[in-house]
Amino acid sequence: MGDYGAIVSRKGFEVKTCADRFLVYSSAFPTLKVFNVSSGSTTIPTSGTNTITITHNLGYFAPYLIVYNGSTTTGVGTSNLMSDNDSYLNTRQYTNKLEILVDAYFDQYESSQGDTVYFTIYLFLDKLETYSAPTINTGTSSGSSSTDYGFRVSKAGFDVKTCADIDCVVSSSFFTNLVHRKGLLTGSSFYHGLGYVPSYFVYEYNATGGYIQTDNLALQNIQYIDSNHLYYDSGVGTGDGIYYLILKNTS
């Protein structure tokens, strides 16, 4: 029996035959949904830790991305993803709240104690649980279509015909994050089977603390991905596993 639903391909790709990773949208694959985007600030203390808390009450671990937007000293013209200018951001994601911890050594070579520091926080709605999307089309991309017409959904309160692209929920003009696999990896590897290196999110689980974090992600071989597997070394870091979210996207 044939599959049913809706698919939208990226510009220039034949919608009926292109591989899954060239789709903007498919009813077969969840998209990574943004629950909330917020901004926050605090000061770099002379001792101890200042904490920004975003209470989300989702009831489960959810993916997140935090951008450090700068400080009083550096200005806000340049932003860093998940790091200051020297090291990882110190973050804790619980099932009901997300914390950003700023201690006296935050951005120590570029900013100063007493500086106000600024952040933009993306919190996603999707639950970090075991999930496996189907694989429908793979392999050689086929058909190069030059005709195109599209699909556009605006955010609440925005006119879909006139709003800016940034005010769309989804648009066939832009690729989206289609979810391929997600779950908790406690063993040494997980077979994602895409055959190419995908985009992914990963967070280390701290069972004792009851949170997930990104501080340890560079510890030797704690995590890396190749064209078929995600790898994890439980001998470093907390040893409690890594939550992963693997997307169909590649570059």
Partner 1 sequence: MILFYNKKNGNVFATIDGRVHDKKQLGCYVCDSNNKKEEIGKFIIGWLEGKDGNRVEYNLDKIKLLEKFEDITTESPLEYKIDLKKGTLIKK
Partner 2 sequence: MADYGLRISRDGVDVKTGDDKDMVLTSKYSNLKGNLSGSGSVSVLNNGVTVTVTIAHGLSYIPMAQGFFSENNSAFAILPYFNSLSGGGLYTQYRHNVTSDSTNVYLKFNIAELLGPPYTYTVYYKHFIFIDKGKL
Q: Which residues bind partner 1 (CB under 8 A)?
A: 10-13, 22, 138-142, 144, 146, 148, 194-196, 227, 251
With respect to partner 2, which residue has the nearer C-beta, 13 or 200?
Answer: 200
CA nearest to 185, candidates 200, 169, 165, 197: 200
Give how far Cα 74 sits from Cα of 17, 45, 49, 233, Å: 49, 16, 20, 36
Q: Which of 113, 195, 197, 233 binds partner 2 (CB under 8 A)?
A: 197
Closest distance to partner 2 from the beta carbon of 187 (Å): 17
Q: Would you state the structure tokens that stand for residue 40, as one six-digit string? A: 């926050």
With respect to partner 1, which residue has the nearer C-beta, 19 or 128?
Answer: 19
Confirm if 90 and 206 have CB atoms less than 8 A apart: no
Closest distance to partner 2 from the beta carbon of 19 (Å): 15
With respect to partner 2, which residue has the nearer C-beta, 44 or 179?
Answer: 179
CA nearest to 79, candidates 95, 96, 65, 98: 65
With respect to partner 1, which residue has the nearer C-beta, 184 or 194?
Answer: 194
Q: Does 236 bind partner 2 (CB under 8 A)?
A: no
Q: Would you state the structure tokens that stand for residue 79, as one six-digit string? A: 């932003």
Q: Which of 17, 33, 113, 233 binds partner 2 (CB under 8 A)?
A: 33
Q: Does 105 bind partner 2 (CB under 8 A)?
A: no
Cα gap 36→125, rounded to integer Å: 8
Confirm if 12 and 144 have CB atoms less than 8 A apart: yes
For the segment 38-67, give every residue that binds partner 2 (CB under 8 A): 38-39, 58, 65, 67
With respect to partner 2, which residue has the nearer C-beta, 47 or 157?
Answer: 157
First-last CA distance in the chain: 33
Q: Does 13 bind partner 2 (CB under 8 A)?
A: no
Closest distance to partner 1 from the beta carbon of 11 (Å): 4
Q: Does 112 bind partner 2 (CB under 8 A)?
A: no
- 3-class DSSP state of 166: helix
For the segment 136-165, give every residue that binds partner 2 (CB under 8 A): 153-156, 165
Q: Does 31 bind partner 2 (CB under 8 A)?
A: yes
Q: Does 231 bind partner 2 (CB under 8 A)?
A: yes
146 binds, among partner 2, partner 1, none (CB under 5 to 8 A by kind): partner 1
Cα gap 197→157, rounded to integer Å: 38
Confirm if 5 and 136 have CB atoms less than 8 A apart: no
Which residues fall within 8 angstroms of residue 13, CB to CB, at 6 or more apart? 22, 23, 141, 143, 144, 145
Q: Does 200 bind partner 2 (CB under 8 A)?
A: yes
